[in-house]
Each structure stands twice: as C-alpha cells, then as structure tokens.
Amino acid sequence: MSGTGRKPASDTAAGGNDTLGKRPFKRSRSHFADRITADGRDGWPVAAGRYRLVVSRACPWASRALISRRLLGLEDALSLAVTDPIQDDRSWRFTLDPDDRDPVLGIRYLSEAYDARETGYPGGVSVPAIVDVPSGQLVTNDYQQLTLDLATEWTALHRPGAPDLYPEAWRDEIDAVMEGIYRDVNNGVYRAGFASSQRAYEEAYRDVFRRLEETSGRLADRRYLVGDSITEADIRLFTTLVRFDAVYHGHFKCNRRKLSEDPVLWAYARDLYQTPGFGDTVDFDHIKRHYYEVHTGINPTGIVPLGPDLGGWLTPHHRQELGGSPFGKGTAPGPLPEGEEVAAAGRP
Ligand SMILES: N[C@@H](CCC(=O)N[C@@H](CS)C(=O)NCC(=O)O)C(=O)O
C-alpha cells in the first residue's frame, strides 16, 4: 500500500502481496461492532432515512446485506451506496457517482466515514458498512451481525409481507448450519485462494469440497437449508455459490468441480438467483473485475476472464417440486428501486 498508508483489510489488498507472505490467511475482526437496534442501546436507534448502507456488489459479505435489505423491503428506510468494484490505495471509493462523490454522504472514499468516527483509525476499511448520515460517521462494519439486525431489530420498518429470515424456532439450527458454511465455504474459499503454502491450500480445498458435498446431500430433498422457507443461512450460502464458477473455481483454485457440475447445488443456486431479491442484486461484472484486477498477488496480469457463460443462471431449476415456500407466510419483494438496477454487463 502506498499513499495514505491505509492498511488493507484482511482478505484483499490492492496489490495482494500482503496475502502472499508466510502467514496463514486470517480474517481480521470487525472493528466497529456497534449495533443499530430498536431500543437504541448502543446510541444508534433504528430510524427511517437516518443510515446509509455502503456496499461493493463484488463483495460476498456486503452482498448478504444487499439481499436482506431487498427481501425485507428496507430500501426506502435504509439508502444504498455502491462503491467502485476496484479499490485504489485509499480503499473503497465512490467513482461510480457524479463527481466521484457519494451524493448523500458527500464523500469520495468510505475511509472518510471511518475517520469521522475514529481519528487515525489504523485498521482496514471494509464493506459492508453502515454510516450515520447526519454525522457522517461509520456505525458498523460488523458483517456477521449486520444482517441479523436487519432481520430482527429493523422489524418496525419491514415491508408488509416481509419474510422472517431468522425465525426464533429455527435459530439453533440456522446458527449451526451457518457456522460450518462460514468456516469451510464462505471463508474456506478465501483460505484456499490466499494460502501461502501448498499444505494450507490443500487443507482449505478439502474443507470447501467436504462441506459442499455435505450441503448438497442436505439440499437433495429439501428446498432450503433450514425449515421450509428462505432464511439467513440460505443468503449466506448463496453469496458464495453465485461467485463460485466465475471466481473461486479458477482464481482461488477451488477446482475439484464447478458449481454447475453439482446438480443439486446448481439447481438450488439457480432457484435463489431467480427469486426476487437475490439475482437482481448480483453484478457478475463487478464480481469478476474486483477479484481478478485487485488481487494482483495471485493474478499478476490483472486479466479478467471472459467466461463463464452466464446463460445457465436463468434455466429452469424445478426445485419448487420439493415443496416449501420461499417467503413462508410472507410475499415476494416488489421491483428494484429506480437506480438500483444492475447494469446489463453484470447480468446473464
Ligand atoms: N469486516 C470484515 C469485512 C468483510 C470483508 O472482508 N470485506 C472485504 C470485501 S469482500 C473488504 O472490504 N476488504 C477491504 C478491502 O478490500 O480493502 C473483515 O474485516 O473481515
């Protein structure tokens, strides 16, 4: 890193060389873990129009929040800022917006919101982030808690018919499923991709495919991971699966098989992709350009592959024959808000 000397957050590194040292890949903790809650106990009460969600559409952790926000109908209550998929040496930037500035926060770099919160903050700047609009301060970048809070603390602002993504009766099972998927799949692909020794890579690779096989078995005769409708667990699995063939199979060397070679997982992922709130948030162009251009440690030429062919994402999946209903007692989200459509380059 150069310029401001801003330290990259764990998984990335513009330049990526940080990831090729001899240390095992370790995800840094989320530094700002304040919670936005119904009772405002951390000083940040849920309020319509007060906060701004900052994401990169490339990022699997941020994409969880994008999907939850859509499914829950929080688009009007929690506005959205989308960063350029390519960071520079000051990290995430708003170069997709007029004058390279986020129109609501008035800042050019997400790091400005971190600095407004804590002067001289030494850690990495990461997405997803929620920023308090009136003060310009970062509230949280705790990607694990953030979506759970959207589901359980923001209920007063949910749309009518919003699904329950973290139902009390299923929480233990959801948590258990998510823990294995986080370790071996969500983070497993990063451990493989950024491994700095053959052994570390092989261990991560085996974890990824062991867990994917187990998950494929689980999903063979049930439409969703837990219960009969979509939960937080499905959102978290989806954000890795949707990137698998485009990025993780090649760039991260998770190439035992493609997603599209596992009939169950491929149909499951297509089912979700075709569900409103999932595929309509996915930008394959941002995803590919981010991983292949930013991680020059593992892709020194920065060449972005043209494939894979995305047409398959829209083919029939037949998963409705397994029963279940996507939104439980709720309904599907409405159309995307104006201006949030994914550009044609990022869609099948
Ligand atoms: N707080 C999480 C953030 C999730 C995360 O890793 N996001 C990535 C993008 S996928 C990020 O923003 N990395 C910082 C960077 O690329 O500069 C962490 O530090 O592990």
CATH number reported for the structural domain that contains residue 64 in this entry: 3.40.30.10
pLDDT of amino acid 23: 60
Query: Ligand 1 center to residue 241 CA distance, Å?
Result: 18
Q: How confident is the model at residue 123 (pLDDT cuts 50, 70, 90)?
A: confident
pLDDT of amino acid 253: 98
Establish whether residue 83 lines the binding site of ligand 1, counting it when its CB lies within 6 angstroms of any ligand atom. no
Q: Can the peptide bond before residue 308 be classed as cis, meaning omega within 30 degrees of 0?
A: yes
The residue segments making up the domain with residue 22 are: 17-157
Q: State whether 100 and 231 are in the same domain.
A: no
- Compute the distance between CA of residue 229 and CA of residue 325 in angstroms, rounded to an integer: 5
How far apart, in Å, are the Cα atoms of 89 and each of 49, 111, 251, 288? 31, 11, 22, 19
Establish whether residue 59 lines the binding site of ligand 1, counting it when its CB lies within 6 angstroms of any ligand atom. yes
- Atom of ligand 1 lying closest to residue 11 CA: 6
Q: State whether 238 and 117 are in the same domain.
A: no
Mean pLDDT on 90-115 = 97
CATH number where 215 lies: 1.20.1050.10
Establish whether residue 197 lines the binding site of ligand 1, counting it when its CB lies within 6 angstroms of any ligand atom. no
Does the residue 5 lie in any domain? no
Q: State whether 150 and 40 are in the same domain.
A: yes
Domain boundary among 157, 177, 202: 157
137: enclosing H helix or E strand: strand 137-140
User: Which of 7, 53, 59, 82 gets mutated to test ligand 1 (max ligand atoms within 8 A of its CB)?
Assistant: 59
For ligand 1, atom 8: residue with the closest CA? 126
129: enclosing H helix or E strand: strand 129-132
CA-based end-to-end distance of the chain: 35
What's the token pair of residue 339?
């201006």
pLDDT of 13 above 90:
no
Count up the domains in the chain and report the number.
2
Q: State whether 146 and 236 are in the same domain.
A: no
Does the residue 163 lie in any domain? no
Establish whether residue 28 lines the binding site of ligand 1, counting it when its CB lies within 6 angstroms of any ligand atom. yes
- Burial group, residue 260, by CB count within 10 angstroms (0-12, 13-18, 19+): middle
pLDDT of 166 above 80:
yes
Residue keyed to tokens 């009518």: 160
Q: Which of 12-21, 211-220, 321-330, 338-347 has the lowest mean pLDDT?
A: 12-21
User: Which of 29, 57, 126 gets mutated to test ligand 1 (max ligand atoms within 8 A of its CB)?
Assistant: 126
Does the residue 195 lie in any domain? yes
Dihedral angle over CA of 79, 95, 89, 140, nearest 10? 0
Phi, psi dihedrals of residue 260, rounded to the nearest 5°: -70, -5
Establish whether residue 139 lines the binding site of ligand 1, counting it when its CB lies within 6 angstroms of any ligand atom. no
pLDDT of amino acid 29: 61
Q: State whether 179 and 327 are in the same domain.
A: yes
Mean pLDDT on 201-208 = 98
Q: With both helix axes pointing from N to C terminus, report the angle between 232-243 and 263-273 in degrees, rounded to the nearest 10.
A: 110
Domain boundary among 157, 188, 209: 157
- Compute the distance between CA of residue 231 and CA of residue 57 in angstroms, rounded to an integer: 21
Whole-model pTM: value is 0.94
Q: Can you name the residues that pair with 130 across neighbouring β-strands?
A: 53, 140
Query: Ligand 1 center to residue 243 CA distance, Å?
Result: 16
Does the residue 250 lie in any domain? yes
**Percent above pLDDT 70 for the chain:** 92
Establish whether residue 141 lines the binding site of ligand 1, counting it when its CB lies within 6 angstroms of any ligand atom. yes
Nearest-5° Cα angle at 288, 283 to 294: 125
Q: State whether 224 and 288 are in the same domain.
A: yes
Give the closest residue to 189 by CA, choosing from 178, 199, 201, 176.
201
DSSP structural state of residue 157: G
Q: State whether 226 and 261 are in the same domain.
A: yes
For ligand 1, atom 11: residue with the closest CA? 126
Q: Which of 23-37, 48-62, 278-292 has the lowest mean pLDDT?
A: 23-37
Three-state SS at 111: helix
Mean pLDDT on 324-342 = 97
Query: Ligand 1 center to residue 238 CA distance, Å?
Result: 18
Give the closest residue to 259 by CA, choosing from 175, 187, 189.
189
Domain boundary among 95, 128, 157: 157
Does the residue 22 lie in any domain? yes
- Compute the distance between CA of residue 52 and CA of residue 143 in angstroms, rounded to an integer: 14
User: Which of 86, 90, 127 gets mutated to test ligand 1 (max ligand atoms within 8 A of its CB)?
Assistant: 127
Q: State whether 95 and 200 are in the same domain.
A: no
For ligand 1, atom 3: residue with the closest CA? 126
What's the token pair of residue 193?
């991709």
pLDDT of amino acid 25: 77
Does the residue 9 lie in any domain? no
- Atom of ligand 1 lying closest to residue 8 CA: 17
Give the residue numbers marked as catalytic: 59, 190
Three-state SS at 33: strand
Q: State whether 212 and 129 are in the same domain.
A: no
Query: Ligand 1 center to residue 153 CA distance, Å?
Result: 24
pLDDT of 7 above 50:
no
- Atom of ligand 1 lying closest to residue 92 CA: 17
Q: How confident is the model at residue 195 (pLDDT cuts 50, 70, 90)?
A: very high
